[in-house]
């Protein structure tokens, strides 16, 4: 049956009024905080436990342990290297990896050892943040360049060097060569510079054990960062360059002395130590540095050198293998920042707000007097109807200030 048009109109009007009322209530409602003190020892105990936990987290863990009050800059550095040969070099006859001593050593053939100086060991010349110490040279001499290979424009595919002699040599006493590292730390954002002799330093192994230390404000000879190749290898966990499988290149038993290897040396600067509560970790005016060495797996290193004897007919080549040292700055330089402190505190105490929300939920949904707590906590006041008598506040009616005063006066008179 078709509905009466008036009924349909009334229903549409009612629906429109309901939607309008909802929209009006949404747009004209303001929620404010109300302080309600609930004297319940269970809720109070939970609150103070949460407060103490948040306070200890913010003060001890965030500020004191992690040093979140510091503004941090990433340090950079300038470096200069100087390689120093050993003062007293052993005779190759006494070195087991030299053919002058024996034809084999640890299952590998030995080669003739040469006693070289620092200029012959370092190739190419140290620059930037890396240098190479030559451990093995394969020198090709009397290399005759064929006539067809001398044209600088087009070199045919058949071009080859048919005649040459190859001699392989090891560098004697290479482990005893030392490297002097002259470095200066720069914190660009803080405009702080510190030379190595203004900081305490140390060399550590892969387990964090200190192998060597340097102290500031001492004799310059004691402050110089001088490390032997043996000490750097030990810091990387390598006992000998003749260990098979150290390089582990393609699964063979290559050695560091014959094939070369790459060591990554991290030079870390700090003036504070996070994850620590020791008194020294708070001394931001004390700067220190730390060397840590890591072997780059599956990596050999070589450098190829060409020496023309009679250009363009005769040349010599030197296939060098050795230990490449790559130095990389790291670390953190910090100083106190009020803004960072406020951010750390505010973000930490935000957890207390979450705890209050949980406790409110327990009080209004779980506790025995949850209905009473709910009515006390949430009170609705309709501004458009100030004379209303309905309230969720313990069932007490909403009274205007005048009526409150009158009710109080009548109550006092009735008691009298």
Checking if the pLDDT of 261 tops 50, the result is yes
| 3-state SS assignment for residue 108 | strand
So what's the pLDDT on residue 251? 54
| Alpha helices (H) along 243-394 | 256-259, 338-365, 370-377
So what's the pLDDT on residue 278? 79
Checking if the pLDDT of 252 tops 70, the result is no
Question: What is the percent of the chain with per-residue pLDDT over 90, rounded to a whole number?
Answer: 37
Question: Which of 5-19, 333-347, 390-404 ranks highest by mean pLDDT?
Answer: 333-347
Crossing angle (nearest 10°) for helices 338-365 and 41-56: 160
Question: What is the percent of the chain with per-residue pLDDT over 70, rounded to a whole number?
Answer: 82
Predicted TM-score (pTM) of the model is 0.71
Q: Per residue in 288-310, pLDDT tens?
A: 999 999 999 888 899 988 888 87
Question: Which of 281, 284, 401, 280 lies closest to 334 in space, CA to CA?
Answer: 284
Checking if the pLDDT of 157 tops 60, the result is no
Checking if the pLDDT of 34 tops 60, the result is yes
d(CA 322, CA 305): 13
Under a CB-based contact definition with an 8 Å cutoff, are residues 260 and 322 in contact? yes
Checking if the pLDDT of 394 tops 50, the result is no
Question: Which of 374, 357, 376, 362 lies closest to 43 in space, CA to CA?
Answer: 362
d(CA 414, CA 405): 14
In which band, very low, low, confident or very high, does the pLDDT at 21 lie, cut at 50, 70 and 90? Answer: confident
Q: Which residues contact 96 (CB under 8 A, 6 or more apart)?
A: 102, 105, 110
Average the pLDDT over 249-265 and give the result. 82
Checking if the pLDDT of 14 tops 60, the result is yes
So what's the pLDDT on residue 153? 54
With residue 49 as reference, give the H or E element that holds it. helix 41-56
Q: Which residues contact 108 (CB under 8 A, 6 or more apart)?
A: 242, 244, 253, 255, 258
Average pLDDT, the chain: 82
Lowest-confidence range among 97-111, 173-187, 327-341, 379-393? 379-393
Under a CB-based contact definition with an 8 Å cutoff, are residues 92 and 100 in contact? yes
So what's the pLDDT on residue 39? 83
Within 13 Å, how many C-alpha atoms sit on residue 141's CB side?
4
End-to-end Cα distance, the chain: 70
In which band, very low, low, confident or very high, does the pLDDT at 138 lie, cut at 50, 70 and 90? Answer: very high
């Amino acid at each position: 049956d078709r509905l009466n048009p008036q009924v349909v109109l009334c229903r549409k009007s009612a629906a429109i009024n309901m939607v309008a009322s909802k929209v009006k209530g949404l747009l004209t409602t303001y929620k404010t905080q109300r302080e309600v003190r609930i004297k319940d020892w269970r809720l109070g105990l939970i609150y103070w436990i949460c407060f103490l936990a948040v306070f200890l987290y913010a003060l001890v863990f965030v500020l004191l342990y992690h040093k979140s009050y510091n503004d941090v800059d990433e340090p950079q550095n300038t470096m200069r290297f100087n390689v120093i040969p050993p003062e007293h070099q052993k005779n190759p006859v006494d070195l087991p990896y030299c053919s002058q001593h024996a034809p084999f050593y640890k299952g590998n053939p030995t080669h003739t050892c040469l006693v070289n100086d620092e200029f012959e060991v370092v190739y190419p010349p140290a620059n930037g943040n890396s240098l190479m110490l030559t451990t093995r040279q394969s020198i090709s001499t009397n290399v005759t360049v064929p006539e067809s290979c001398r044209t600088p424009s087009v070199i045919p595919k058949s071009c080859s060097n048919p005649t040459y002699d190859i001699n392989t040599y090891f560098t004697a006493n290479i482990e005893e060569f030392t490297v002097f590292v002259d470095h200066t730390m720069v914190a660009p954002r803080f405009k702080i510079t510190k030379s190595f002799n203004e900081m305490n330093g140390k060399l550590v192994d892969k387990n964090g054990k200190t192998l060597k230390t340097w102290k500031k404000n001492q004799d310059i000879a004691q402050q110089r960062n001088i490390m032997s190749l043996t000490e750097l290898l030990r810091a990387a966990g390598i006992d000998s360059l003749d260990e098979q499988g150290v390089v582990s290149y393609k699964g063979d038993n290559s050695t560091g002395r014959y094939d070369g290897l790459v060591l990554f040396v991290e030079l870390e600067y700090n003036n504070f130590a996070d994850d620590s509560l020791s008194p020294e970790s708070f001394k931001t005016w004390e700067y220190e540095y730390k060397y840590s060495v890591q072997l780059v797996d599956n990596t050999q290193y070589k450098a190829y050198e060409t020496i023309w004897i009679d250009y363009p007919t005769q040349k010599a080549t030197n296939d060098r293998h050795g230990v490449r040292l790559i130095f990389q700055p790291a670390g953190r330089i910090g100083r106190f920042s009020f803004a960072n402190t406020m951010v750390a505190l505010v973000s930490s105490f935000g957890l207390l707000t979450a705890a209050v929300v949980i406790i409110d939920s327990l009080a209004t949904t779980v506790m025995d007097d949850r209905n009473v707590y709910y009515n006390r906590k949430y009170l609705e006041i309709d501004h458009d109807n100030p004379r209303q008598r309905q309230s969720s506040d313990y069932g007490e009616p909403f009274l205007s200030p005048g009526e409150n005063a009158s009710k109080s006066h009548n109550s006092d008179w009735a008691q009298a």
